[in-house]
């Protein structure tokens, strides 16, 4: 299983602990464990076709449904123009409008699964692969194990260097996405510092 899940260097992809940056008094993982899977959006979960329509990549809707059924939280770390709003919520609303207006397919994008875990650059300097979005997500994770999935090799390297379990999607001879059972195992393995 280890060879399937590691899209980056083994030593960086599976951190011993991710809770050391948790704020004092933050909720620590329960006995059930917790994990949050952050995704890049474009060419990871959705594809923009030549006609500018947008739809799920093969398997993405089913994968999100599986994570939802297993109560695994998901989020987005996505580059949108910082000029789309003053806050993440405003920029996320603009992103939703942009995606929904070009959406093609019988199943709408599962925005409700992401809640307020849609993080976007506050400035152009925060655009990925700058580490700002991963650091913000980590600060809000309350000790949960963090996973980042993207098709972008550079982004997997940055995420892994910051303690995320990074998985490069869309690679031949590997699952399209990190299997949910692996994420559940990672969640149980997360332990807060004493």
pLDDT digits (tens, 9 = 90+) for 155-186: 999 999 999 999 999 999 999 999 999 999 99
Q: What is the pLDDT of residues 125-143, one digit of tens each?
A: 999 999 999 999 999 999 9
Q: Rounded to 5 degrees, what angle do the CA atoms 85, 152, 162 make?
A: 75
Residue 101 lies in a domain: yes
| 93 pLDDT more than 60 | yes
54 alpha carbon, distance to own chain's centre: 19
- Tell me the whole-structure pTM to 2 decimals: 0.82
Which residue pairs, CB below 8 angstroms and at least 24 apart, start in 63-66? 63/176, 63/177, 63/180, 64/110, 64/113, 65/110, 66/180
Residue 124 lies in a domain: yes
What is the residue range of 132's domain? Answer: 2-189
CATH number of the domain within which 76 lies: 3.40.50.1000
Q: Which residue in this structure is represented by tokens 């991710």?
A: 18
pLDDT for 32: 59
């Amino acid at each position: 299983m280890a060879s399937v899940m590691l899209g980056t260097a083994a030593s960086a992809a599976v951190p011993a602990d991710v809770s050391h940056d948790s704020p004092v008094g933050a909720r620590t993982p329960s006995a059930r464990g917790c994990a949050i899977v952050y995704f890049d959006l474009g060419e990871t979960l959705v594809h923009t076709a030549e006609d500018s329509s947008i739809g799920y990549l093969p398997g993405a809707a089913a994968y999100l449904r599986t994570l939802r059924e297993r109560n695994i939280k998901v989020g987005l770390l996505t580059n949108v123009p910082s000029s789309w709003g003053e806050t993440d919520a405003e920029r996320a609303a603009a992103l939703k409008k942009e995606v929904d207006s070009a959406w093609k397919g019988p199943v709408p994008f599962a925005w409700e699964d992401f809640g307020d875990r849609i993080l976007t650059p506050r400035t152009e300097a925060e655009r990925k692969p700058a580490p700002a979005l991963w650091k913000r997500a980590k600060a809000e994770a309350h000790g949960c194990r963090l996973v980042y999935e993207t098709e972008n090799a550079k982004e997997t390297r940055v995420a892994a260097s910051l303690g995320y379990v990074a998985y490069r999607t869309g690679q031949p001879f590997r699952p399209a996405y990190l299997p949910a059972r692996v994420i559940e195992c990672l969640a149980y393995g997360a332990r807060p510092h004493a």
